[in-house]
Structure 1
């Protein structure tokens, strides 16, 4: 007990009001400290526990270690940041304390978020807006495919074009800060309500998307805001509420934190992200927006982040503690700052240097994107205001259609059912086929809030997006029914439909029956199931009489299909994702063969929901638990890594997708570059670029492979590279994605070489003892193929 008291005495005073430890808080509440979860780390810090170097032990049973003070942004990571900080610093040096405080808080205004302004120095209020796949709640804007759909393209070029188009619309509306892209949640929980906003369940694929979208948004002059930093992996108990109490604590080990959850954010930072949004939930028992380890330690020190950290809306849980832990801007109002922050600076609880750093970081991002010169004024309005609308749609509809088609995944195609050969008699069934299906559901889909814009979900029409702050407000929607009707009309055929019934009328002369179902999800709650009885019954009823039943699933994430996928009359199945406003055109181009499908699953589809084990549901203890916890005891083993580790056969594996042609792989080679410096980078060296130490991004090895179209029709292949790290211990995946490339389109018989460049980070693991990325010596197994289970060719790379 004396040792325990000593450990408690070690707590830095600034942590005591942070809601990480429960004593008197700034809410004036008393909070109980969980002895098992807190005491172990305190004793470890006191030098009493042997496995202190085993950070997984510290993380599962302890707290985030304190990291203070908050690093000052100095523009040291690039010439461009140096110039931005020079200008920002000069401006902040002219400000009063009151003016600097005003910059760090939100104010009411026309935008979702609005910063304070300093009129006498020409600093305007900055405009923030949702969301990651389109500007929410506005007119004359585009509804882009969701992040999960974009990830299914496995196409870096489309990801970059997506970011640039999205950024152009934000710029055109005068929005300074776009709240996206998303890599948190990563998709740890199969039923997670916001997985669809992110860019797959794999950190490498998500990182590719995060980097490309961030670059594209900022190429347009808009500040990108990668979110949610970090470990925001479920909606259930995700935030503090008066009724439930504290948010869930995501308790993760140090290696998984780096190799899974922070990994994709590194790509966004490397592309110069000007802002990062911290999340609602607790992380290792400390709220994410006041977690000094995550903000000061990992983000601002280890990853060299120069921009500003903004809270999720109403996500700030303390005043002094959040300021000292690295939060720079609170939204949407003053939160615990405003006059209270002014008081804290005046009494020394928060230093003037920390306040100046907050203001400087915000303005540095403004200068970094050159928004101080000729930036359009905000053109954000409510539906009740009369105004002159600013049309920012440009020609983005074509890109939306292209991405919609490229992210559509064909998972079953018996006897070349698809593409359709100009059928003269088609049946279309299901609530998801039309824009508005049911006469008894009259929800307004064109709003922009949570109440009236929960996506185009069950009985409310075709699903093009999902719900919450990431939803979109399309100028129009091309439904599958509209697009198919145009095709049938052109062929002078017959079309029959039933959008309402789960047992529609049989038309025995139909050449094909298309059944449309969907799987909806939303912010604020996790999915109750990965299937639904109505949809399964609909498919089975149609298949009972239609020998050519084609199922189309618009889905916000994983959707199990074993209730009907093996039925002999279900001849083809497509996962059509969340394709955005050009949904029908994108789908029809695949169905009729205008486009050969290249989409690949960005997650694993199991045979049964139980196959996901503890990763199926959001977690929290049963009963009245004021401080719920979710222990990420699976470590690195989520999605396909979990299935590989446990020898579970999926229905459709990560990376899977069929084509209308076939491909062969040959001539695989792998070589360490002769110029590659494989020596470890110096310990403790401060990163000089955003995204980590610069040598992490050096190309170490090159893998080459020839892909040949062995079929009869033109098509493109998505070649995927997986590798196994040598000597990384039992906590390492069997294999993990470390490269992908789109090859083609190739005509029949044509071959082309695909080249994969592997960086130091790709070949490294996070060393919890050394607290750095380490390149392992030994033989790296490298596979290239069509999915995580379709591994065609193998080679080894030797690092010595």
Structure 2
């Protein structure tokens, strides 16, 4: 037996007893829509399919691995302490000239190094609703990873999906809607991998909070208890898109899923990912997320990072397990084959840079610089920053600004972070590293003496933790405003530190900058903070044209002040990356129109969120084994608001531009030959599941006319009412530029997958006969075009 852990066995016995006493037992998961916290066993771990799109890479990998000894195959499944700035490195096989791979954070840009760019974060990509821009961002970002010798980019993030509004890592993800998240994640996978770098899509699966995400002493990691239907229709959806796009890797998460740790959960790894979805690549653990040896190997884990106590130095315990009959050599062979075939699939066997080149362990000592920034990235960086800004209020044509005589600027978020402002360590609740970590360039912080929940000493372009990236520079709002003021002859007054500042009554406008910070490792303690709200109210009390910009790492509530008559414009600026200020000024002054829309719902109160938006804490008999029951099912975010008929402050998909649009001419066409039967397993499985799920079964078109006075882009959205499910679910979007007075016809393809529900009894996707309401419009609650698709 490999790495037999008696403490873990005792914990497993205790939790089994607790679940037996407190939960309804189900003999067969197909007979009940809820697992009740029990994850069924699925063995053995299926070997890599080696399907047509992977055939060449698979054949090369099989040929190479066949020359390896058992010890060599085991060696490349475990991580080693990197000799470079890589986040992790696998073992190598020098005898066969196989170098191993370098894995590095993050899905938002390469961190902990120099001469790279600070890209817009995942939530900013979601707010842009732009497939091509997501692809271009990923392509250029992937090029930086490759130039630095990084084989695997640890991202994009599609879990958390945003179930918990206060989730500390929601900003790394793309959207709270699985369709939008999956569509843009697929583009991100394609872009990065076109650059020759593998993606490792994370965190698989149910990783929806930071509270209790990892074991702490005798307390186990939280168990995300998710029913079969919800798992498939919500949390698995964007991972499915990523697998369909060909991702080379999936990262298993820290949490437990139905009381089985994610990196040893045979149902989600063997049963769903590797069998149902036909995943070709390798499963890698999150850093330190392995909790067993033999069990994790049997359950489908392929590579362990950053090292493995359980599989042993050089994978020695795997070798022992094979030799004593506990583990088949075929499983170890499959681990190695999956890793190496992904390496071949990305073309990394030809002219790939040395692992981690130019990524020094200590940047304060002499090192060889590798300049990874491509000048052609500048347009993509700026456009990415521009399109993720969302204008939610603009009364009295407060924006765009028109050569103001005097602008007054307030708020801690207006300027670039200043390390001098960091308080003593005893005052710091949380820190985040901005810039490459070895230099600790900037450290925005959350403090007890200043307000919680915010980075008080400067603007934020990213959240905190392993998802933060390394900017080449920061264009802060005030920096860019000064340049514009110089061109316009505008006078500026500013006060970045006083929460109740003096205000010159001659100000044409008062710009207030606040932020809402979030970081890996802890969940937010709320969705607004009194300090920032007071600042806004104090300025608005004395300035009749107050414009608020929020750099927000997730949902930020605004109802403390949104209806104040002197607050004329509000912008959710999200996390734009290093061109933050430059992009904002182009929008404030009307050089570009706003075009972003919310990728989540902004409530009026925290309690409006279906699950109350609070991370689950251990309590009662389960204090050693925290349980988080996803009893709301698929009804998170706008689905939940619709179900409960709760009016949000700003609905999912909402956003203003500087013009107006009119929708007309809805057409709905069902394509011939659509069968309404379910898709029985086994069937023709490709990457992403049964092949016919990706067939187009219907097409929808609509016409959009720019009826205003400014050229701008509109994001048309299509929602479907699937019988028996939520009132409506996003199933299409199209971002189109429309000149003044012109119209554009948008087209949506509806796949069989888009119209199906997961059949728990059938254990397959079911396309029902009947009527499907079709809605097209500007947001989830502004849908002027309504029709019906009959199947």
Distance 1:38 1:178, change over 3 A: farther
Q: Does 1:344 align with 2:321?
A: yes
Q: What does residue 233 of structure 2 align with?
A: 259
Whether the aligned pair in 1 keeps the contact of 2:693 and 2:751 (CA below 8 Å) is yes
Q: Distance in 1 between matches of 2:9 and 2:439?
A: 28
Q: Report the 3-state secondary structure (helix = DSSP H, G, I; strand = E; otherwise coil) of the residue aligned with 2:201.
A: coil
Q: What does residue 85 of structure 1 align with?
A: 58
Q: Which moved more, 1:550-559 or 1:160-169?
A: 160-169
Distance 1:30 1:299, change over 3 A: closer
TM-score (norm 2): 0.94
Whether the aligned pair in 2 keeps the contact of 1:559 and 1:605 (CA below 8 Å) is yes
Q: Distance in 1 between matches of 2:651 and 2:681?
A: 40
Paired residues for 1:436-475 under 5 Å: 436=417, 439-441=420-422, 445-448=434-437, 458-475=455-472
Q: What does residue 521 of structure 1 align with?
A: 518
Q: Does 1:790 align with 2:763?
A: no
Whether the aligned pair in 2 keeps the contact of 1:143 and 1:475 (CA below 8 Å) is yes
Q: Distance in 2 between matches of 1:491 and 1:44?
A: 71
Match of 1:530 among 527, 552, 555: 527
Q: Distance in 2 between matches of 1:301 and 1:39?
A: 33
Match of 1:96 among 66, 69, 76: 69
Whether the aligned pair in 2 keeps the contact of 1:424 and 1:488 (CA below 8 Å) is no
Q: Distance in 1 between matches of 2:631 and 2:443?
A: 33
Q: What does residue 727 of structure 2 align with?
A: 734
Whether the aligned pair in 2 keeps the contact of 1:455 and 1:471 (CA below 8 Å) is no
Q: Does 1:749 align with 2:741?
A: yes
Q: Report the 3-state secondary structure (helix = DSSP H, G, I; strand = E; otherwise coil) of the residue aligned with 2:639.
A: helix
Residue by residue over 1:365-396, the C-alpha shift from the partner in whole angstroms, topping out at 9 and shown as x without a partner, is: 01111111111112121223421211111132
Q: What does residue 107 of structure 1 align with?
A: 80
Whether the aligned pair in 2 keeps the contact of 1:188 and 1:615 (CA below 8 Å) is no
Whether the aligned pair in 1 keeps the contact of 2:595 and 2:713 (CA below 8 Å) is yes
Paired residues for 1:373-392 under 5 Å: 373-377=350-354, 378-379=356-357, 380-382=359-361, 383-392=363-372
Match of 2:245 among 234, 246, 271: 271
Residue by residue over 1:675-726, the C-alpha shift from the partner in whole angstroms, topping out at 9 and shown as x without a partner, is: x433546512254421111111111100000000111121111000111012
Distance 1:534 1:41, change over 3 A: closer
Match of 1:299 among 270, 273, 291: 273
Q: Report the 3-state secondary structure (helix = DSSP H, G, I; strand = E; otherwise coil) of the residue aligned with 1:489.
A: helix
Q: What does residue 428 of structure 2 align with?
A: none
Q: Report the 3-state secondary structure (helix = DSSP H, G, I; strand = E; otherwise coil) of the residue aligned with 1:432.
A: helix
Whether the aligned pair in 2 keeps the contact of 1:454 and 1:468 (CA below 8 Å) is no
Q: Report the 3-state secondary structure (helix = DSSP H, G, I; strand = E; otherwise coil) of the residue aligned with 1:596.
A: coil
Whether the aligned pair in 2 keeps the contact of 1:105 and 1:329 (CA below 8 Å) is yes
Paired residues for 1:469-548 under 5 Å: 469-548=466-545
What is the CA distance between 1:621 and its match in structure 2? 3.4
Match of 1:216 among 181, 186, 191: 191
Whether the aligned pair in 2 keeps the contact of 1:73 and 1:306 (CA below 8 Å) is yes
Structure 2 portions without partners, runs of 5+: 424-430, 446-453
Whether the aligned pair in 2 keeps the contact of 1:598 and 1:657 (CA below 8 Å) is yes
Q: What does residue 366 of structure 1 align with?
A: 343
Residue by residue over 1:557-578, the C-alpha shift from the partner in whole angstroms, topping out at 9 and shown as x without a partner, is: 0000011110000000000000
Q: Report the 3-state secondary structure (helix = DSSP H, G, I; strand = E; otherwise coil) of the residue aligned with 1:553.
A: strand
TM-score (norm 1): 0.93
Q: What does residue 71 of structure 1 align with?
A: 46
What is the CA distance between 1:36 and its match in structure 2? 5.3
Residue by residue over 1:381-429, the C-alpha shift from the partner in whole angstroms, topping out at 9 and shown as x without a partner, is: 1223421211111132321111111110000000111111111210110
Distance 1:124 1:556, change over 3 A: same
Residue by residue over 1:51-108, the C-alpha shift from the partner in whole angstroms, topping out at 9 and shown as x without a partner, is: x533423x1x2411100000001302x2x31111111111111111110110100011
Q: What does residue 697 of structure 1 align with?
A: 694
Q: What does residue 772 of structure 1 align with?
A: 764
Paired residues for 1:559-574 under 5 Å: 559-574=556-571
Whether the aligned pair in 2 keeps the contact of 1:207 and 1:264 (CA below 8 Å) is yes
What is the CA distance between 1:38 and its match in structure 2? 4.5
Match of 1:629 among 627, 631, 636: 627
Distance 1:557 1:246, change over 3 A: same
Structure 1 portions without partners, runs of 5+: 1-13
Q: What does residue 109 of structure 2 align with?
A: 134
Q: Distance in 2 between matches of 1:40 and 1:53?
A: 21
Q: What does residue 393 of structure 2 align with?
A: 412
Whether the aligned pair in 1 keeps the contact of 2:463 and 2:517 (CA below 8 Å) is yes
